[in-house]
Amino acid sequence: MFTWRACSEALPTLSNLQKRKVVEDGHCPVCKTNIETLGHVLWGCCATRDIWGQGCKKIQKMLVHSMNFLGIWDQLVKNLQQDELEEAAMVARHIWTRRNEFVHGKEFRHPNSVLRRAREDLQLFRRTKQTQLTNSESHTVSINTWKKPLDGNYKLNWEEAIDDARGKISVGAILRTTRDWLLGLSELGNC
Ligand SMILES: [Zn+2]
């Protein structure tokens, strides 16, 4: 989501705010030498280069210059594996967070701190994704591994619904036997 907003130039850089006449000066609040576009703040600014310079080796070797982040992201997509791309997206998000903290008067965090937090968040993101995947797989397995009852036995699944307005209970049931016979029935009775 953050990457999409960055590629769409939908974040409030000083350049964007200047275009909307919200601020008069669109220069980068960190280096104060370039206009603060998303390409600059997330990639080209000297303070940002310090962060990318300690990250993925492939990124360190990339020579990309663009005023907009879309051109940079396009190159990242072409050069990086999926896991490296995920890390790049998380690092970019944390670079933007650091910039916002600085603009709002907080301490300008060290590049190592930005990278460490980005990697911690990425691990958390991946763990959460894995847990969701495992849960959905185990749910699927439990459905697919339903076993027939043993000889001479049957399994009954049933569900009830109460109709308050009519004062009735509706019961639906499926009976499964060893020979895969399926019997369905529903009854209506008084509550
Ligand atoms: Zn700058």
Centroid of ligand 1 to alpha carbon of 15 (angstroms): 12
Hey, is 106 helix, strand or coil? coil
Q: What is the DSSP string of 114-138?
A: HHHHHHHHHHHHHHHHHHHHHHHHH
Centroid of ligand 1 to alpha carbon of 177 (angstroms): 73
pLDDT for res 181: 46
Centroid of ligand 1 to alpha carbon of 159 (angstroms): 64
Centroid of ligand 1 to alpha carbon of 35 (angstroms): 8
Quick: pLDDT tens for 137-164.
Answer: 766 655 555 566 666 665 656 566 655 5
pLDDT for res 146: 53
Centroid of ligand 1 to alpha carbon of 184 (angstroms): 71
Centroid of ligand 1 to alpha carbon of 44 (angstroms): 7
Centroid of ligand 1 to alpha carbon of 86 (angstroms): 24
Sheet holding 182-190, edge to edge: 154-163, 168-177, 182-190
Centroid of ligand 1 to alpha carbon of 82 (angstroms): 28
Distance CA 181, CA 175 (A): 8
pLDDT for res 111: 94
pLDDT for res 55: 81
Distance CA 169, CA 191 (A): 6
What amino acid is encoded at 110 in this protein? Answer: H
* pLDDT less than 70: residues of the chain: 138-191
Distance CA 32, CA 47 (A): 11
